Structure 1
């Protein structure tokens, strides 16, 4: 069986066979196999099998009538096998979906896709490419981070057990000193411990119950949709299911960054001196406390605790810096665009410039893609992918578009690129998916926008109209926010928890808005606090630092609480 394929792939190989003759394939030919040798573990066409049979008369050769047995002897490594279609070989790449495919995948799922490429064509010269050469280092970095988290969580589990043992040991030690009064006080202390454990358990169980309830609801609605014959009931179940999916996304965002709960024991140093006045052996502390958890709540309003400034102008820079884009990398490094000096700058975790990269045109906004890769928009209607390796910045690839490239954001394999008046969705290879939004009522209705962490919303600083506009990924306007402190909004950033911040150039402010973009929660920073024409902003989740740049030689870092 063979499958005809479209476009450029036809030029490389007109037919894709279930099984290709092994000797022919070695000679660069593409002939369908009709035989399989169990001992050679190779496939043969009608011509090649004749030579094989002369050379190896005792070998067991299976014909097409035994093709079901071929699969078991296909000789494919596990990495070559298609996960969706048994032991079919992965031979193709759908560039539209950036997905590896076997011929059946193409026939059933990707027949309408525009760009299907043959893997042998794509693999030519692979080992000389920069991405391939740096892959071991990238994998090592990721695995090291994963192992670090695993080690941390494992240690946390053990530390909880150790803490429990330590508390009991301390309680027993104190009991020996005050045996007469110990029974009564020990009981009271254990009651407190039990209550704290119960409260902490309830706190965790509440999260579990929320997740379980949503899971049950979604399954119920889905079962109704799949089994119901009445279209009206199916539609109602469909709408309710969509609503619950939205609730689930919000809950996932809320719960994903909550820290682990732990218990410790602090003995009261006055115990022996004032035993008669005590009701417990000591104080049991739960971490994090409820007060600390408030900081992680989506409705928490931040305040400035401290402010620092860091010089980012280099001796080679001929002009005052114009920082239009900021993003942080997994290792703590920070990338910034310098529009005025036409370069990118790499900063370490102490905000010191460690490397620069000159660009062919003035850079605007940038976004983190994955690992140590970022994408930056340039004034020449292009997007450059930047790879960071140590203290080296490299342009790994670039794409040119038929429109201006100002704002940029990435989510789940989709690249969102904005001109001054529109937002477009592209694949990572630069194929247009759709135009999401457009407003031609002024020359600057779309600036440095960002996509929410759950991928459901896009926050747009509509500079010309002094508005923050929130849309969904279909382009529907969800909310519009007008406020005196939002004057020529330039850039937006969102924390992992969904806290949203807008920096405005003319009002010289940073404002915090609610996750729906409907209300201003607070004006976090103002001109008197050190802001001068801010045009870029980044919220650093681990430190709760707000990093702000603009037309100045310093980067302002606000420690929030």
Structure 2
């Protein structure tokens, strides 16, 4: 085993002086101090014998000294000022050796007390073997391996993001199914309640019919008795004996009839009722603990198997929303749109130099933020903050949103005409024209990466996810997919003038083709695409709401200028 401080020569080991080795000079050890636990060269050995503090130490000569380095209890061995990485086994020591047999970084304690000293390990002093690592093959290959592995981690992260979004969509569908089931239960209970109400009404009608019959009979007999009684009183007063006699006899007959009628009426019955719940339903409500069960199923990443897209057929026009307000002095030009919530859009109106908040339910502009120059594209930075590009002023404007109000915040300066913008994990991806390039910035505007090559000519819009950045380039007539290192990893070219671009939650790409007058749906790997809307003139911007399954788009029409004041909605009820 060869280590710094020991040289193999004819099978004999040479141990270096440790005090001199700390000063960068290597001298063979001449002896050893047992009190200091250090090997000493001839000069240090003699000095050790003479010095007041060490002349009483126990010294042994070269023949009797240990043939391995012994670490001092008070000194932590370090041979080079650049050694700062601590040993994972000996926290107070720094790494300065490398064992090639075990591919392990070591400190001096590892070397002198570990298993390496008792084996034939090839242990090297790092400064002796590290001179060729700069721009070396091992370094370059390691960078490639780490880049490749980082890309794999990003792909896994992106895949899990898509699967999680997809799985959460199924849970949203579960809630809808539960509501539908609850609605069916309510409908059935309503039907049973109506049926019971009908029965109650029948019984009420029967009771009322009996009451009416009794009331009529009683009223008729009471009236007859009252009339006969008054007649007898009048005849008796007038001393008309003959007539009174006949009336009395008639009254006797009436009394007999009334007695019989009283007996009959006394037999009439009125029924009361009580309610006994359905035993099956009662047991169900008592025993059942849930409306049903959630069946677990494994989600599959369809994007890796070239799966079908969101829409099976073309979308159809649904409605339009006027976004022009009384304060707007010009016709609108909606160049950027994002979905904030299922019922809220945020749009950029470049001609009127405004950012507008739209309620899609009321189809009304709920707030309007006036800027000093026209914004082009917009992105969500956080749930309460937006970022918009200001091409003419070479700035990115941050905007706060709270209580359905837009508020202008700070800006950051950029080095060119910025057009498209997308935010992912606290990084801004911004596209530029004249010259065409793509930049990745942090939130303070510091440029992290710049991609400026033949892959870009006029990149107006960008969208970013964990593993990819998609660029809509009007001059290249294609949608280009690159990774975060600027390498092209996909391209879709069946386009004439691509404009607004967006990504759905599952990684599907939507893009407007202004010249072809269509909106296309493209797979996330850019391998295939299809038309989902057609015959729409002057398409500009587009955004998508996965909750409502609605696609919003705008136009910049030079002929039908009123059309520019609207955003349009298309919808398809097909759900994957």
Q: TM-score, normalised by structure 2?
A: 0.48
Structure number with greater Rg is 2
User: Please, what TM-score do these two structures have when normalized by structure 1?
Assistant: 0.50
